[in-house]
Structure 1
Amino acid sequence: MSLLNTLNDDIKLAMKSKDKESLAILRMIKTAIQNEQISKGDDLSPEEELTLVSREMKQRKEALIEFEKAGRQDLVEQAESGISIVARYLPEQLSDDELKVIIVEAIASVNATSMKDFGQVMGAVMPKTKGKADGQKINALVKELIS
């Protein structure tokens, strides 16, 4: 079942249960997917759908940080709720230990010896972790393990 079908089913459930918050977020995700399909002119692959959902998650996490800085607890709670809803459509996130294994393998495969090789290591790691880990977390671990 495609992500779009799953979203449609979940939207129906949210409508029946009168869960306005979930409904709004699910509609945003569905709209993003449909807009991308229109611009592409074809159905999206699962990887492309995952990229869109990851983008939605990233936007919500960035908003959460800004709300926390501004001291807006009401919006912090709303953003946290949105993050938990979007997280349902992402694969299980990798642990730090799992990420370190992937990064160490990438460092060995590109023969990285210094921070000059940072881009090559990130280029090798990102396709393996797409949607399964936060890019900022990967970035920090790569910097830690290279130096």
Structure 2
Amino acid sequence: MSLKDQITDDMKTAMRAKDSERLATVRLLIAEIKRKEVDERIELDDAQVVAIVEKMIKQRKDSITQFEAGGRQDLADIEKAELAVLVTYMPAGLSDEEVAAEVAAAVAASGAAGPQDMGKVMAILKPKLAGRADMTAVSAQVKKALAGG
């Protein structure tokens, strides 16, 4: 079952259970998926759906930070509830050791010699690790590995 089919099934389940909060979040996700498909005239695969979920998670985290800074805990709580639903659609994360092993393999595969080759290494890692690891942390590990650290 594709991730998109799972999301659609979850929407139906939330409707039957009358879980309005979960239903609203899942509908937002489906709307974003459909918007992307219509705009680009393509059928999204799981990796593209994960990218959309990742983007929505980032938006929620940013909103939570802003709402809490502005003293609007009520709105922050709504965003946290949406975040909890969205996180369930992300693939299992990788441990630090697994990320380090992927970084080492990518550095070896690309023949990277120094910091100037960071783009090559990230080009190999991004498709493998997107949605499964924090790409900012991966980037920091690549910098460290290429700096000889």
CA spacing shift, 1:29–1:146, aligned 2, 3 Å: same
Aligned to 2:47: 47
Q: In structure 2, the residue corresponding to 1:112 is in which secondary structure?
A: coil
Structure 1 unaligned residues grouped into runs of 5+: none
Matched, 1:127 2:127: yes
Structure 2 unaligned residues grouped into runs of 5+: none
Q: Return the TM-score normalized by structure 1.
A: 0.84
Distance in 2 (CA, whole Å) between partners of 1:70 and 1:121 is 40
Aligned to 2:118: 118
Aligned to 1:66: 66
Distance in 1 (CA, whole Å) between partners of 2:141 and 2:82 is 26
Alignment of 1:76-115 (within 5 A): 76-115=76-115
Q: Return the TM-score normalized by structure 2.
A: 0.83
Q: Which moved more, 1:37-46 or 1:128-137?
A: 37-46
Deviation at 1:32, TM superposition (A): 0.9
Distance in 2 (CA, whole Å) between partners of 1:117 and 1:71 is 44
Aligned to 2:138: 138
CA RMSD in angstroms, aligned pairs only: 2.1
Distance in 1 (CA, whole Å) between partners of 2:135 and 2:18 is 34
Q: Is contact 2:4–2:46 with CA below 8 Å preserved after alignment? A: no
Aligned to 2:29: 29
Q: In structure 2, the residue corresponding to 1:132 is in which secondary structure?
A: coil
Letter in 1 for 2:132: K
Letter in 2 for 1:100: A
Letter in 2 for 1:17: A
CA spacing shift, 1:55–1:113, aligned 2, 3 Å: same
Q: In structure 2, the residue corresponding to 1:92 is in which secondary structure?
A: coil
CA spacing shift, 1:138–1:123, aligned 2, 3 Å: same
Letter in 2 for 1:85: V
CA spacing shift, 1:136–1:73, aligned 2, 3 Å: farther
Q: State percent identity of aligned pairs.
A: 33
Offset from partner CA, 1:51-106 (integer Å, 9 cap, x none): 22222222223333334444544344333332221111111011111111101111
Letter in 1 for 2:142: V
Q: Which moved more, 1:91-100 or 1:104-113?
A: 104-113
